[in-house]
C-alpha cells in the first residue's frame, strides 16, 4: 500500500445546493480518494486548510448509468467525505474557482 499525499486524498470540493446548505452548519463536502480512511482525511483537511476538524463522515456514491447520443455509459463511483469543522473555523471552497 502506497502512502497518499494530502493532495492525493482530497480530490475536489463538492459544490451543490445540498453541500452549500450543509456549509451553514460548519460542514464541508469533498470528493476523496476511494482508499482514504477517516483519520487520513481528517489529517489532510487540517494540514491543507489549517482548520480544526471535529468529525469526518464518509459515503460511497455508486455511479449511475447514463445514455448519451444513444450510447450507454457509466459515471464513475466516488467516495465523498462530509467534514464537520470545530466552532470558529471555516473553509471557503468558492475561492480559487
pTM of the model: 0.86
Confidence (pLDDT) at 77: 95
Residues 11-28: tens digit of each pLDDT: 999 999 999 999 889 999
Domains in the chain: ranges and CATH: 6-64+72-85 (3.30.70.330)
What is the rounded end-to-end Cα distance, in angstroms, of the chain? 33
Confidence of residue 2 (pLDDT cuts 50, 70, 90): low
Report how far Cα 28 is from the mean position of its chain's Cα atoms.
Answer: 7
Residues facing residue 73 across a β-bridge = 66
User: Using alpha carbons only, what angle is made at residue 16 by residues 65 and 88, rounded to the nearest 5 degrees?
Assistant: 140
Residues 33-62: tens digit of each pLDDT: 999 999 999 999 999 999 999 999 999 999
CA distances from 6 to 73, 81, 92, 95, 97 (A): 31, 14, 18, 19, 20
Amino acid at each position: 500500500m502506497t502512502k497518499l499525499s494530502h493532495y492525493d486524498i482530497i480530490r475536489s470540493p463538492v459544490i451543490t445546493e445540498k453541500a452549500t446548505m450543509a456549509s451553514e452548519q460548519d460542514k464541508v463536502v469533498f470528493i476523496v480518494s476511494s482508499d482514504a480512511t477517516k483519520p487520513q482525511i481528517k489529517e489532510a483537511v487540517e494540514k491543507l486548510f489549517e482548520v480544526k476538524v471535529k468529525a469526518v463522515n464518509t459515503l460511497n456514491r455508486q455511479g449511475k448509468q447514463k445514455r448519451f447520443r444513444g450510447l450507454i455509459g457509466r459515471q464513475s463511483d466516488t467516495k465523498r467525505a462530509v467534514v464537520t469543522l470545530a466552532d470558529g473555523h471555516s473553509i471557503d471552497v468558492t475561492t480559487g474557482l
